[in-house]
Amino acid sequence: MSDSDMKAVAKIPGDTDKQVEIFTDQTFRAKRMLPREWSKNAVVSGLVGYTIEDGETKLTLLEAPVKALWNRYSALENQLFDVHKKGKIVTLINKTVRGQQAAKELYDSSVNQLVAILQDMGIPSDESVIENMILQNDASALNDYVKRVAGLQKLLNASTGSVRFLIDRVMMPNIGNNEIVFGRVSEKTGKNVGKKIKSPINQMYYGYKSDTFITRYAETYASVHPTPQDFSVTSPEGKRIYPISQNNWISDTVRRLNDNIDGIVTQLRKCPY
């Protein structure tokens, strides 16, 4: 299932500046459900501890594993970028790589590191998901590792919902907290200050916009690794049904062969071909 199978784009007649994207039910499930599932995975990934107070379980982001995760991501970032920081502003300048062999080595090493980091964040990952995200942006990168490296650099930007954001802006400032607090990060303390938005720790990957990394990653993951739900449709009665398990030509033919309906087996045996 490709990304195009999950949505269709319709242009509004007479208005070249507007278009409507019609998403399938699978797309909405991927955007809504997968980040929630992955947030729960993070709780049992080793990044989060818990205490029980007055019979209530309280989750807490743990300092050692979160900082170790950040150090690993920083190493990956330094491998791909020249990182410049001025106050809270981070600028990532792409490192130039020349030659397909050097690019392939850099790409393979970086993707392996990224996959391991995502998995330790509770987000299922493999090389095929990353590759699909890159090829969605630039199909010509299929056989060009220099372009693949550029595509990977583009994925790992510093914007909201990126891997950097989730570790550096969501986890790191909230070490020791019982909830995720979003706000301006203090340069002195590294904590969130100013106007704050609060979210439970077990929802830390949920609620990001459609164009963010984590949401696009969820869509791509669903297209690369479809579940039985992804092949389901909603019936007129509002029930979920699975067309692949419904009666079809193949099941009819097998039934006719098994029961020799209308003497089909006898007729087939008479055929010399």
**Which tens digit of pLDDT belongs to each residue from 29-44?**
788 899 999 999 999 9
Is residue 39 packed enough to be buried (19+ CB in 10 Å), middle (13-18) or exposed (0-12)?
Answer: buried
Among 13-22, 53-62, 161-170, 193-202, the range scoring the smallest mean pLDDT is 13-22
Burial code (b: 16+ CB inside 10 Å, e: under 16) for 190-207 equals ebbeeeeeebebbebbbb
Calculate the CA 240 to chain-centre distance. 25
The pLDDT value recorded for residue 59 is: 94
The pLDDT value recorded for residue 27 is: 66
Among 14-18, 138-142, 147-151, 218-222, the range scoring the smallest mean pLDDT is 14-18
pTM for this predicted structure: 0.74
The pLDDT value recorded for residue 32 is: 82
Q: Are 34 and 221 in contact (CB under 8 A)?
A: yes
**Which tens digit of pLDDT belongs to each residue from 151-180?**
999 999 989 999 999 999 999 999 998 888
The pLDDT value recorded for residue 267 is: 77
**Which tens digit of pLDDT belongs to each residue from 66-119?**
999 999 999 999 999 999 888 767 899 999 999 999 999 999 999 999 999 999
The pLDDT value recorded for residue 6 is: 45
